[in-house]
Amino acid sequence: MDNLMPHAVTLVEVGPRDGFQFEKTVVPTDRKLSVIGRLVAAGLKQIQVASFVHPAKVPQMADADPLIRRLPRDDGVVYSALVLNRLGLSRALASGIPAVEISISASDAHSRKNAGMAHADALDQGLRMIGQAVSADLYVRASVQCTFGCVFEGQIPSARIADIIRRFVDHGAHVLALADTTGMGSPPVIKRVLDAVLPLTGRLPLALHLHDTRGLGLVNLMAALNYGVSIFDTALAGMGGCPFVPGAAGNIATEDTAHLMETLGICSGVDYRRVGVISREMEMFFRKTFPGRMHRVTDYAVSSA
């Protein structure tokens, strides 16, 4: 299927949301804005900047509303936020964010831990939210968590994933996404799920959100590239993880993915060296080493934030 490999890909930077919310040290709003602005300067055109969740449960996202109001405006950049329930959607609508991700877990056990409700209830609520957001002229990305497996339930039937995707399409989502929330994906699983899902997507773009829990993040990306998938979530330095998943690890690193695309002759539009500088600085800020590689194998000149 190599003939389906795209000539260009879109990297969706999720570090300011998925990455920061996994850390205990709260990133000040001004520093978040600086990081976001510099990610834009490095070539990222789609950035997920926040999630509308309870501030007591996720203190890192407590500044979502003022952060969004202060975002630098660039005609070529799309900022988005994650919403998990109706209250979150109401906050998103009031914030002025132009795009939202409405995410539902395919795993009942994970849904109960992550969203506080059964899968069936979360799906029904999510479909209503998609309709409401579309009616409000928001750009809606609908995503399925635990697509490629769940640490609590094991492998998720492809038929369940396909049914969710079919309903997302029917309710007007603009883009679809499959998330390897627990990092259990492998090339055979990626292929099995894509075989079930791609015939249902029509002309809607499909994105993959890959975690590197078992070291297969970029391997899984390669399997998806061969199916023609061209949108991938990444996080600077390989930050991130799900707080409700034991042993969760970060996303595939933005700089690693951009470098891989360069070696393949696939355009990402992202300068992995400039992202690497930001990643090095965030390691110093959090006083920890993140799993990404390209920001550590090159002797970057670290600038002040």
Active-site amino acid positions: 242
CA neighbor of 106 nearest in space, from 169, 167, 50, 61: 167
Tokens encoding 173: 């989502």
Fill in the amino acid letter for 75. D
Query: Can you say whether the dihedral through the CA atoms of 50, 106, 134, 169 is positive or negative?
Result: positive
Q: Which residues of 15-51 are buried (b: 16+ CB within 10 A; e: fewer)?
A: bbbbbbbbbeeebeeeebbebbebbbebbbbbbbbbb
What is the C-alpha separation between 38 and 161, in angstroms, rounded? 36
Tokens encoding 100: 């939202």
Fill in the amino acid letter for 59. P
Contact 302, 275 (CB under 8 A): no
What is the C-alpha separation between 101 and 123, in angstroms, rounded? 14
CA neighbor of 304 nearest in space, from 17, 41, 47, 31: 31
Contact 17, 53 (CB under 8 A): no
Name every residue whose Cβ is closer than 8 Å to that of residue 124 and which is 6 or more positions away in sequence: none
What is the C-alpha separation between 144 and 161, in angstroms, rounded? 7
Cα dihedral: 287, 291, 293, 296 (round 10): 10
Contact 140, 172 (CB under 8 A): yes
